[in-house]
Structure 1
Amino acid sequence: MVTTTVTTSSTVLSSPKAKQAPSITTTVSLNHVFPNSYKDDLAVHSLQVPADVGHARYLDQSLPYVPVFEEQYGPEVSSSLQTKYYTLTESGQAGIEAATATLHALFVQATEHVLANQESLASYFHIPAALWPRIQDSWARQYVIKNDTISGRLDFALTDHGIKVYEYNADSASCLMECGYTQDAWSNAAGLGSIGRSNSSTLFTQLTAAWKSKNVQGTLHLLCDNDPEERYHSLYMKATAEAAGIPCVLVVGVQDLHFDSSDGATILDGQNRPLQNVWKTWAWQTVISQYEARNAGAAATSGVVQVMDVMLHPSVRVFEPLWTVLPSSKAILPILTQLAPDNPYLLRSTFDAADIPLFTGGYVAKPVMGRTGANVSIYNGSGDLISATAGKWVDDTIVYQEIALLPKYEDDCYVQVNTWAIDGEYGGTVLRIDESNIVGLNSGIYPMRVVPDKCLSMAISASSVLPKYLNAVKKDLAVHTLNIARHVGNARYLDASLPFVPTFEAKYGHEVSTAQQSKYYTITEAGQAGVEAATDILHQLFLRATDHVLAHKRELAPYFCIPAGLWPKIQHSWTHHKQDTISGRLDFALTDQGMKVYEYNADSASCLMECGYTQDAWSNAAGLGSIGRSNSSTLFTQLTAAWKSKNVQGTLHLLCDDDDEERYHSLYMKAAAEAAGIPSVLIVGVQDLHFDSSDGTTILDGQNRPLRNVWKTWAWQTVISQYEARNAGAAATSGAVQVMDVMLHPSVRVFEPLWTVLPSSKAILPILTQLAPDNPYLLRSTFDPADIPLFTGGYVAKPVMGRTGANVSIYNGSGDLISATAGKWVD
């Protein structure tokens, strides 16, 4: 089995006659085959705690959520001097981060599928018919409500065959504070701070950034039941929202809520403040139960507010919104099996008991409406019951799921991995430990540290386990000659009605081929899987390296040649706009030893249109449509989904230079944003931009529309050059807007954000080598010429600030120069 044309350079696609060696480039967007994580990546360790440490207080009592936590669990590090902790390898961590992001996207896709096929699927979810229009409205209303999600928790087993997901608690889930605060505080107090690194140190800032992106107007009420765990969980979330500048009120129970006597409809809190924005620990299942009871004629105390009155109120904005009841239901699991039968993270699931014999290793029966591990039964391959829990969902519809038992470790305990998706991206991990293979409400939580793969044998006291990566090698790619009939070669192969096509044709022509002979490439399915996996694991690795650079600015900043005055802006961009990325391009070589990455163009990169449109259009016109499959047929829809997820408020301005390639690239991205419902304007150059005369700071376009959201082809290096010139005293035309004025403007949201200048820099490469020395996709890199003899096969010298292959020199193993390019980065 082969896959048709891989992404090569734009020259090859637009001019089939060109003779050029292909390099593999991949576009990072949403959903690919991700790396994995396995049972052996996780290990348990005993820890002796000195008495003075064990009895010490380890949490900061000045934090509002700590006193309630200590009331529940006490203030001491450990009541026992013998305790334990867990470690996970870096490759295992990369696997669960990737699985979190891809599964979040898959559960969202399945939700959309359910709503599109409501007539045939709704009955499985046990949701009253009258609530389905509300769910549809929650999902569809201008794409805004879909972005009213803050966090969700995925529950995994790490098996010998990789990550297997049990369910997605997208509606309401516990353990946020344990994940983002207590496990690291405990680790530091117990002396584990020097062992590896945290898995969740950014969770609080990610939550704060998520709240900032929601544009909450007015007070946020956080509703929880009168339970200590719910209260400290809510107080932790309240602190993150307050850090985002949102005024917040905690409401415990609903007894103080009441209807406004003046209109009988508005719900007020105990201080007579109206409820307009609500985050809650109450599950939507509570609302469904109250709704069913009220419609069945259950008497309600006159004027008393119930949870359902708040969460279904048309004037109340709820986080997490009503549609999250669907991905949180067990009924979504068989639908995921139908949509993605080959996804390695999923366990096959079915509503039909007749399918049980397909689960030859055993199966799990769980009720659709069940929560907290209730009414779950586990059967082995012979159909014998091996474990079961009680609960109130005895008569519920059952979902049958392929068995994947939780792994048991040397402490004789079962471990479930729970990861948080914050705004759809990985936020942190918490481990839940139980003596039973069904994790329940009383399971324990122990800290987890992330350790380098090379330390695995030392950390686990077991034999070394190699990281597990999919790969692609040179022989996976092949070139083929193609004879093109004259009538085919002269034909137009692009749709001229698409807004980006005329500019492309003006540059490259409209014909399939001006020659009667051309060529195309194929890659094997195994090679394609390797390319996809490498794309995602490297994206995560470049992000980790970015975080490392910002955590060690004092030592590492000088290597990046970025003015000191911009580093606080970069830090702010990382903290508050980490999610404002749409796409980035990785450049690879396919070698006999596997994929080797040259760099990550995370800031600005070309060839999106060639990847997502012209290569498939050319293939179909040239008669290749029946050979294998496309590698990028979903790119446009992935870009559209990415834009939908960003909750862009107002107009998006797409800025590019006056260059044909930049224009059609920008028009392609503009079409994707418009398909997401975002009004968009293309701006070529900056000559029509001007400052608003009324305030002297707002930047307006030629039609006097303010610039609030900007996507750009301009590289951040342009901004750095202009910033340096202006600070060096270079005169700027009075009142003229430069690129830097737009991209550094405090009121302009930029895609891709400023922090992407770091992973796009060549200076990140030696840092990647330090962080992941054994990663098979990386080429060893260094700042120190003294290390050159270590590169016995030869080496490449490239400038940190260089772009488009300029000033690159290649030396063989004897140190002889064999190739070089010119450019402006000589010094």
Structure 2
Amino acid sequence: MRRHTLTPRPDWQRTVEEQGLVYPLTRYPDDSLRPYWDESAYYSFTLDEIEALEETVEELHALCLAAADHIVTAGRLADLGITDPRVAEAVTESWHRRAELPSLYGRFDLRYDGTGPAKLLEYNADTPTSLVEAASPQWFWMEDRFPGADQWNSLHERLVAAWKKQAPLLAPGGPLHFAHSTADELGEDLMTVAYLRETAEQAGIETEFIPVEEIGWDPLSGRFVDHRLRFIRNCFKLYPWEWLTTDRFADHVLDTLDNGGSTGSTLWIEPAWKMLLSNKALLAILWDLNPGHPLLLESHLDGPHDLAHTTGYVAKPLLGREGAGVTIHESRQAAPVPRDEPCCYQQLAPLPTFDGNHVVLGAWVVDNEPAGLGIRESSGLITDTYARFLPHVIQ
């Protein structure tokens, strides 16, 4: 694993925008615009490194599914903050019927520097983003700059194949709706949904686009409807389950939830059981079940334990994205800093540094199989909204 500097292509911004990355720049607090898509550098890997990462992803995914089953069978949903009986019932039923429910993708965030086993930082299994740049502009960049090279990137092909495979699980009676929230001002959620819709259409599925805010409720039929008053039988949503089950329509969502049975009316993708994997409590439960596993970092729910005096620790809210609410506590601090909200306390394993940049690998899973890699760099130890995306090649 190596970092290389490179002169960006002429007119690179227009190029990646035409390839779907309409958010190539990030606005900073000083109102300056700096590249989010950063092709002034790239990473190279050996084939052995990529094959080892693929095996890592396979093993981590299996461990996570086993942990999800444990959470359900051992009655540990409350550890995830899922205390509403109706939500708990929906998640449990969804898990038991998971073979009947479409489930598409997820992203593991890994600490890796090429010298040892990767370590799991977290699993983004419900609404992962950075998909567009990993699947499309990254591939075309390689073809432009390194014709004939290779890349860990079968995302597009695997997504189309996944939709074809899972199409029979969709409820009959209407298109597959694709929804995102208009609260996203950057266009990232919009383009992620648009890209996934394109892969579904290439799989031969009829689709329809609708903002989450425009999904209607018909009190006469007791069903969700679109702007043409058609029943929404299937809906891919880039909208977290913790919002879907707590906003003003939450009761309607739970009343009409299609978990693969015959009484529901709306089949949501990702399914409700993904709440088991998209919660940071999963990290602590993984450690409970697999203490000392070489791919895991020691993690706890009831405090940092000895981590406060040994390696230091990172406190992560159970639900959060883009590093929001994450705090770092080094071992030299006299006492743990209390948190008011439920957190996962994970061993501090600082991100590796390449040329002064802190690097995290985003390894993708599509239909339960390793599918590709995206790399983000940050100036600090927390990968936040100011992180940059860099492409990669296999040597």
**What is the TM-score when the length of structure 2 is the normalising length?**
0.86
Checking the alignment, whether the CA contact within 8 Å between 1:311 and 1:318 is kept in structure 2 is no
Residue matched to 1:446: 390
Checking the alignment, whether the CA contact within 8 Å between 2:152 and 2:372 is kept in structure 1 is yes
Residue pairs, 1:370-381, within 5 angstroms: 370-381=320-331
Residue matched to 1:199: 152
Letter in 1 for 2:194: L
- Out of 238, 242, 256, the residue aligned to residue 313 of structure 1 is 256
Moved more, 320-329 or 156-165: 156-165
The answer to whether 1:143 aligns with 2:95 is no
Residue matched to 2:112: 158
Letter in 2 for 1:163: A
Checking the alignment, whether the CA contact within 8 Å between 1:150 and 1:207 is kept in structure 2 is yes
Write the distance in 2 (CA, Å) between the matches of 1:54 and 1:80. Answer: 13
Residue matched to 2:228: 271
CA-to-aligned-CA distance 1:558-604 (integer Å, 9 cap, x gap)? xxxxxxxxxxxxxxxxxxxxxxxxxxxxxxxxxxxxxxxxxxxxxxx
Residue matched to 2:362: 418
Write the distance in 2 (CA, Å) between the matches of 1:166 and 1:80. Answer: 23
- Out of 407, 428, 453, the residue aligned to residue 372 of structure 2 is 428
Shift in alpha-carbon separation, 1:282–1:149, aligned structure 2, 3 A = same
CA-to-aligned-CA distance 1:301-351 (integer Å, 9 cap, x gap)? xxxxx4774476321111111111111111111211121124211111112
Shift in alpha-carbon separation, 1:49–1:266, aligned structure 2, 3 A = closer
Unaligned runs of 5+ in 2: 27-34, 258-264
Residue matched to 1:250: 209
- The offset of 1:399, in angstroms, is 1.6
Write the distance in 1 (CA, Å) between the matches of 2:238 and 2:320. Answer: 16
Residue pairs, 1:768-807, within 5 angstroms: none
Shift in alpha-carbon separation, 1:422–1:97, aligned structure 2, 3 A = same
CA-to-aligned-CA distance 1:462-512 (integer Å, 9 cap, x gap)? xxxxxxxxxxxxxxxxxxxxxxxxxxxxxxxxxxxxxxxxxxxxxxxxxxx
Residue matched to 1:362: 312
Write the distance in 2 (CA, Å) between the matches of 1:81 and 1:152. Answer: 23
Unaligned runs of 5+ in 1: 1-41, 295-305, 452-827
Write the distance in 2 (CA, Å) between the matches of 1:360 and 1:425. Answer: 36
Letter in 1 for 2:112: L
Residue matched to 1:70: 22
2:109 match: secondary structure:
strand
Aligned positions, number: 371
- The offset of 1:385, in angstroms, is 9.6
Which of structures 1 and 2 has the larger relative contact order (alpha carbons within 8 angstroms, sep 6+)? 2
Write the distance in 1 (CA, Å) between the matches of 2:331 and 2:308. Answer: 10
Checking the alignment, whether the CA contact within 8 Å between 1:46 and 1:85 is kept in structure 2 is yes
Residue matched to 2:246: 289
Shift in alpha-carbon separation, 1:81–1:158, aligned structure 2, 3 A = closer
Residue matched to 1:696: none
1:416 match: secondary structure:
strand
Checking the alignment, whether the CA contact within 8 Å between 2:357 and 2:377 is kept in structure 1 is yes
Shift in alpha-carbon separation, 1:359–1:113, aligned structure 2, 3 A = farther
1:254 match: secondary structure:
helix
- The offset of 1:70, in angstroms, is 3.1
- The offset of 1:82, in angstroms, is 8.2
Letter in 2 for 1:424: N
Letter in 2 for 1:382: R
Write the distance in 2 (CA, Å) between the matches of 1:80 and 1:213. Answer: 32
Q: Percent identity?
A: 27
Residue pairs, 1:41-52, within 5 angstroms: 42-49=1-8
Residue pairs, 1:666-745, within 5 angstroms: none
Checking the alignment, whether the CA contact within 8 Å between 2:104 and 2:162 is kept in structure 1 is yes
Residue matched to 1:236: 195
Write the distance in 1 (CA, Å) between the matches of 2:98 and 2:243. Answer: 27
Checking the alignment, whether the CA contact within 8 Å between 1:152 and 1:173 is kept in structure 2 is yes
Shift in alpha-carbon separation, 1:448–1:308, aligned structure 2, 3 A = farther
Residue pairs, 1:576-587, within 5 angstroms: none
The answer to whether 1:83 aligns with 2:40 is yes
Write the distance in 1 (CA, Å) between the matches of 2:130 and 2:2. Answer: 21
Residue matched to 2:127: 172
Letter in 1 for 2:348: I
The answer to whether 1:129 aligns with 2:85 is yes
The answer to whether 1:92 aligns with 2:49 is yes
Letter in 2 for 1:247: E
Checking the alignment, whether the CA contact within 8 Å between 1:287 and 1:308 is kept in structure 2 is no
**What is the TM-score when the length of structure 1 is the normalising length?**
0.42
The answer to whether 1:220 aligns with 2:176 is yes
- The offset of 1:57, in angstroms, is 4.1
Checking the alignment, whether the CA contact within 8 Å between 1:287 and 1:311 is kept in structure 2 is no
- Out of 107, 110, 118, the residue aligned to residue 64 of structure 2 is 107
- The offset of 1:71, in angstroms, is 6.4
- The offset of 1:416, in angstroms, is 0.5
Residue matched to 1:637: none
Runs of 4+ in 1 over 4 A off after TM superposition: 71-74, 78-82
Write the distance in 1 (CA, Å) between the matches of 2:391 and 2:40. Answer: 11
Write the distance in 1 (CA, Å) between the matches of 2:43 and 2:206. Answer: 38
Write the distance in 1 (CA, Å) between the matches of 2:41 and 2:98. Answer: 49
